[in-house]
Amino acid sequence: MTGIIGLVRLPDGASILNASLGYASILTASEGDYALSAALILLAMAADGLDGLLARRVGDGPLGIQIDSLADVLSFGAAPAYLAWAAFGSDFGSAFSILGVFYLACGILRLARFNVTAKKNGEFQGMPIPGAGAFVAASIFLDGHLLTALVMVSMSLLMISTVPYPKLRDPRLVPPVLAVGAFAAAAWHLGDLRLSAGVVFLALVGYLTSPVVIELCRRRGKLPPSRRG
């Protein structure tokens, strides 16, 4: 026990926090508190971002990538799939059970590919699973089961795709991200779950379409060509 504890680094603590929030999301969804369950998934997304920030600042440990992926499977794979099933399963149980398995399987494949392939500076291959999980969680409070089902299928396919998605490491993005988070949190606190979810959903749509925008900018010479290995 002492040996493995000695391998844990500060970024790993953020990953364990991420996993703990994902577990709490499943528990609250099982109790019928879907709004808190979704909020915990978004907080897990923030913890995942903190993990990456700390790893870049203080360095990662030998267990880092494994702990991070295991946490992501729980918080952004299992938790959103369970939340969707809990929200709509009473009427569409079989459909959301199958969708949940498909979504979770694609998320696992996405993370496994990330762990074994060479990393590319500035971009991910396929939709990152935290973004996919947040998309699913936000969709539940918008237009019902059909939108959530469509989002789950779309996110599943995008996670295992080779579409390049940018890594959000530019410090200039911090203020707008914080503004979106603050506005969504304020709407949630005031009881307007639809508005809160809509703000998060629209922000994620911006990220979803970012590969198209980046490619158009490259074709117009406003960005350097992509360096794909």
> pLDDT tens for residues 38-79?
999 999 999 999 998 888 888 888 888 899 999 999 999 999
CATH at 146: 1.20.120
Hey, what are 40's tokens? Answer: 């915990």
pLDDT at 34 over 60: yes
Q: Is residue 228 included in any domain, yes or no?
A: no
**Domain region containing 157:** 2-219
Burial 9-19, CB ≥16 within 10 A → b, else e:
bebbebbbbbb
- pTM score, whole prediction: 0.89
Task: Please give the average per-residue pLDDT across 18-32, as a whole number.
Answer: 97
Q: What is the pLDDT at residue 59?
A: 81
Q: What is the pLDDT at residue 69?
A: 94
d(CA 53, CA 11): 8
Q: Is residue 226 included in any domain, yes or no?
A: no
Alpha helices in 31-72 (DSSP H): 34-58, 64-72
d(CA 139, CA 137): 6
Q: Is residue 177 included in any domain, yes or no?
A: yes
Mean pLDDT of the chain: 88
* Phi, psi of 164, rounded to the nearest 5 degrees: -80, 125
Q: Is residue 229 included in any domain, yes or no?
A: no
Q: Is residue 227 included in any domain, yes or no?
A: no
Q: Is residue 127 included in any domain, yes or no?
A: yes
Share of the chain above pLDDT 70, in %: 90
Number of domains in the chain: 1
pLDDT at 229 over 50: no
Write out pLDDT tens, residues 93-151: 789 999 999 999 999 999 999 988 867 667 889 999 999 999 999 999 997 899 999 99
Q: HSE-up of 227 (CA within 13 Å, CB side)?
A: 6
Q: Is residue 124 included in any domain, yes or no?
A: yes
Q: Is residue 128 included in any domain, yes or no?
A: yes
